[in-house]
Amino acid sequence: MLGIDVLEAEGFAPLLGKRVALISHPAGVNRRGERSVDVLRGAPNVNLTTVFAFEHGFNNEFPAGQRYEDYVDPRTGMQVRSLYNGRSSRPTQAQLAGIDVVVIDLQDIGVRSYTYSTLMRYAIEECFRNNVEVIVLDRPNPLGGLKVDGPLLDQQLMSGVGGFRVPYVHGLTMGELARMAYEAPGVLQIDESIRNRGRLTVIPMRGWHRSMRWPETGLTFVRTSPLIGDFAAVVGYAMVGLGSSWGSFVRPGFSHGVAGSLWFRTLTLNGRNTDALLRELQTVQVPGVAFRKITVNNAQGQLESAVYVDVTDWDAWRPTELSFHLLRLNARLNGNNPFASLNTENARSLNIHIGSTEWYEALRRDGARVNVEGYVALWQQRNAVYQEQVRRYWLYD
């Protein structure tokens, strides 16, 4: 049972007699596949007055990065308040006026740079500042609650793609991240006296355990954003996202996806044919990962090829490791180190996504000689400590 299911089973008690706003998206559904906005609109004595939407819009109408203003949702006729208008990613005092409680129901994918967890933190901060209660409806971490990997986020690199100082694959649910924000001093970027007066309730799931990946939940995966349409893409985002998203400004650079599909599960390299790329990747020793060539038809009926990345051993697999090998391989294939000469904008984009100044400086300095294996081992040690520290925020065994 998801958080929305538990809320319904308990008769929507925390919402009765209150003016309610909802922050959600198309993946905000109950276990029957009904959208949470429709569940709340149909609930007796629940007064849903406002909905908020962030990147991609309330119905995934907008591609990544496209800003938009408030609009009327054609499905419900409700006014959608944009938190992705280019001015602020936070609900304003005016938008929160007349609201008693904000309900947050967002399906995350367990990866730090996926922006929904940061949006949640921003919303909690502004609600606390404006004396508005917050209720977080919890959902599964699709990667499970035991897999933790990659660098911890440096304090100075916190941003819209890094709102919590956690590893890149963090092993927490949205409800557990909300608990961390509420209980750990310094996570929320507000005065401590305001945090202490804030009102946060997390509605936990029933029946979820930390060892469960998405396929084991029995739930239908609903597209969380335009390129994350299934569990395979979630796995790929964690695995190649950090290494394959820079093909537009590193030449030759890796890109993910082929023929308008298989996002984050296939790799191409501009200027290289697929057979040559496959040979290069097969020299990379990454536990739990294998590579194979695939060929698919694009929208014009033409054949396109790419290298598909398989996870062959879930237990041995360290989600982010391949991305750092791809970055090192980029430097080697370029003949010189392209990361040493990035402009300020591109350098910041790469750095805030990865989250480690230490790694970034080593990549700039050492290029093809950067010690990926040493950093992977270091992050594993640090993440073991992290996992012990965050157990206090766990809601599930």
What's the pLDDT tens digit per position in 194-205? 999 999 999 999
- Report yes or no: 233 and 217 within 8 Å, Cβ to Cβ: no
Asked whether the predicted pLDDT for residue 216 surpasses 80, the reply is: yes
In Å, the largest CA–CA distance within the chain is 66
CA contacts within 13 A on the Cβ side of 269: 22
Q: Report d(CA 34, CA 38) in Å as an integer.
A: 7
pLDDT of residue 56: 86
pLDDT of residue 66: 92
What's the distance, Cα to Cα, between the start and end of the chain in Å?
A: 16
* DSSP code of residue 150: E
3-state DSSP call for residue 87? coil
Q: Which two tokens stand for residue 166?
A: 């956690």
- Report yes or no: 172 and 180 within 8 Å, Cβ to Cβ: yes
Q: Indicate the helix (H) or strand (E) that contains 359.
A: helix 357-366
Asked whether the predicted pLDDT for residue 228 surpasses 90, the reply is: yes
pLDDT of residue 15: 98
Residue type, 208: W
* DSSP code of residue 153: P
Q: What is the pLDDT of residues 115-140, one digit of tens each?
A: 999 999 999 999 999 999 999 999 99
Q: What is the pLDDT of residues 83-121, one digit of tens each?
A: 999 998 999 999 999 999 999 999 999 999 999 999 999
Give the torsion through C-alpha atoms of 392, 119, 220, 31, to 10 deg: 70
Q: Report d(CA 217, CA 379) in Å as an integer.
A: 29
DSSP calls for 239-303: HHHHHHS-TTTSSS-EEE-BTTB-TTTEEEETTS-HHHHHHHHTTS--TTEEEEEEEEE-TTS-E
- Report yes or no: 393 and 180 within 8 Å, Cβ to Cβ: yes
Instruction: Kindly indicate the confidence band of residue 379, based on its pLDDT and cuts at 50, 70 and 90.
Output: very high
Give the position of tokens 């971490």.
141
pLDDT of residue 334: 86
Give percent above pLDDT 90 in the chain: 92
Phi, psi of 161 (to 5 degrees): -110, 20
3-state DSSP call for residue 135? strand
- What angle is formed at CA 218 by the lines to CA 214 and CA 222, rounded to 5 degrees? 60
Give percent above pLDDT 70 in the chain: 100
Give the position of tokens 């964690």.
238
- Ramachandran category for residue 186: left, alpha or beta (phi over 0 → left; psi -120 to 50 → alpha): left
What value does the mean pLDDT of the chain take? 96
CA contacts within 13 A on the Cβ side of 98: 6
Q: What is the pLDDT of residues 245-294, one digit of tens each?
A: 887 788 778 999 999 999 999 999 987 899 999 999 999 999 999 999 99
Asked whether the predicted pLDDT for residue 241 surpasses 80, the reply is: yes
Greater confidence (63 vs 165) lies with 165
Instruction: Kindly indicate the confidence band of residue 169, based on its pLDDT and cuts at 50, 70 and 90.
Output: very high
Instruction: Kindly indicate the confidence band of residue 223, based on its pLDDT and cuts at 50, 70 and 90.
Output: very high
pLDDT of residue 249: 82
Q: Report d(CA 125, CA 191) in Å as an integer.
A: 10
pLDDT of residue 60: 85
What's the rounded mean pLDDT across residues 132-154?
98
Q: What is the pLDDT of residues 46-68, one digit of tens each?
A: 999 999 999 889 998 888 889 99
Q: What is the pLDDT of residues 323-370, one digit of tens each?
A: 999 999 999 998 889 999 999 999 999 999 999 999 999 999 999 999
